[in-house]
Amino acid sequence: MRLNKIMVLILVMLLATVNTVYAGNEVEVAIPEFEIEIGEQAIDNVHNEFPLILYNDITYFPMTWNFSRSLGLSSDWNSQTGLSIAQTSETEKLVQDKSVTNDLSRTYRATIADFDIKLNGNAINNSTEDYPILLFRDVTYFPLTWKFTVDEFGWDSNFDQEKGLRISNNRIQTTVHIDNSDNNTTSVSGVNNSSVVVTNNNIDNSVNDSNNTYNDYSTHITNNIDNSVNLETEAKLDELLEQIQQLNDSSLNKGNILISYFLKDSETGAPVANAQVYLNNMPVAVSNDTGLVEIDVYQYAQYMIQIKHDDYYSVTFNQAFNDSKIINQSLQNKLTSNIIKLGVDNIVLREVETEIIDGRKVDKIDYKFESDDKVLGLWESVDFVDQPTDFIAGLKSFPGDLYLKNLEFYKNGSTNHAWSWTKGLALHDDDNTASRYFIAEVDGEVFLFFEWKSGDYTIRGDEPNYYVLKRVVSND
């Protein structure tokens, strides 16, 4: 008996020295209260949907597309190969999703990632890491240890008690050296509602950057963007073509390399004709019957490219090009995207009006309330999938802890979360998103499929994933 008591005492002492780990490799994390800056931008950890977190006194960084791109990283995920992280020369301005309220005085639960992870092409054995990679709110988090921060990512990080934590990537920078000797003039003038007009005559355009890109042109370049003539959104196609021809005649939309896009329907693969392409909000081309559209751009210059069509969702992205290339670009049809084939049934979803404002997707959320008795009650999350057709009843495919635990719909059009609702839609005022939902039977059981419109949808432009929920309590 005495021996048993000693063994129990030893076991208790050992457990007391171990960090809190829950069944299923769950760990306790906290949200730091100290100040944090990423690339000189203050992070609002109180309202950030994906805040930086603390585990074992180490700060962890969220590998969302926008956070990682702001510091020169690219990420790719799929269910077969897992997560791949690599350094990239492409960066994006950090846009924070301040749609939640975090309690900095409490702890939260995260999960130790158990899927395959590659960093700069090398596999990581997460089970042997002193500071393992975590999953928090369905997002991968990396520890800001010297191994990852400096050796792998090439970041600079500094911490002190007064200023808090500062993170930057000083390896990504571009400097332009212009020879301003005689006969070289540089003028910059502002034009109302237009981009900057720059005219450089007979200059040495030598460009050096930290990525060892060197471009030496001894030539005359005039890059003049003037938006003084604007088209209304309802302008006819022939008016748009006339405007583009005027720009062609004046050589305002020329460059030194050719980029060719083949535009196709994402569902059928059919070419998309009469799609309009804009560079920095200036119309430059329209696709032909084969879906081909060609644009002239300047090498290494950064452009905001928009592709628009009345029957398809608009595509907007920032891009710079090193060489001429041919690109296959898929467009999602507004009509087919509202139809989901689940089993033998075609589920028709509500159409949501969406526009791009300041590079961010903004859904229409002003809808009249319409009741839906079938959705009333409490639903509990059972899985998180790319598409509803990926869901298998009784089998959870998502490897981590589900961020959205449940969702309850009340008769007055509210929910137990930030969404209000009307029939077929859950509306989020802060995010300006309208998430579609539908109820369907899978293998004899009834499930609620709910579009998850996070920052990957609003900022990156990805299509939403789906939470799958099962009814717990009915409010009939």
CATH number of the domain enclosing 306: 2.60.40.10
Question: 3-class SS at 275?
Answer: coil
Is residue 232 assigned to a domain?
Answer: no
Same domain, 71 and 130: yes
Same domain, 470 and 346: yes
Residue 315: alpha-carbon gap to chain centroid: 13
The pLDDT score that the predictor gives to residue 226 is 38
Same domain, 201 and 251: no
Same domain, 107 and 17: yes
The residue segments making up the domain with residue 185 are 176-223
Same domain, 442 and 299: no
Is residue 139 assigned to a domain?
Answer: yes
Same domain, 36 and 164: yes
The pLDDT score that the predictor gives to residue 243 is 65
166-198 burial: b if 16+ Cβ within 10 Å, else e: bbbbebbeeeeeeeeeeeeeeeeeeeeebbeee
Is residue 228 assigned to a domain?
Answer: no
- Which positions ≥6 away from 182 have C-beta within 8 Å? none
> Which ranges of the chain have pLDDT less than 50?
1-24, 172-235, 344
Q: What is the pTM of this model?
A: 0.41
Is residue 201 assigned to a domain?
Answer: yes
Same domain, 85 and 153: yes
Same domain, 465 and 347: yes
Q: Which residues pair with 330 in a beta bridge?
A: 264
Same domain, 11 and 159: yes
Same domain, 345 and 437: yes
Same domain, 31 and 128: yes
DSSP codes joined into one string, 41-103 = EE--TTT-SS--EEETTEEEEE--HHHHHHTTEEEEEETTTEEEEEE-S----------S---
The pLDDT score that the predictor gives to residue 108 is 92
Same domain, 201 and 274: no
Question: How confident is the model over 130-180, as pLDDT tens digits?
Answer: 888 998 988 889 888 877 777 777 777 777 667 788 887 655 443 334 444
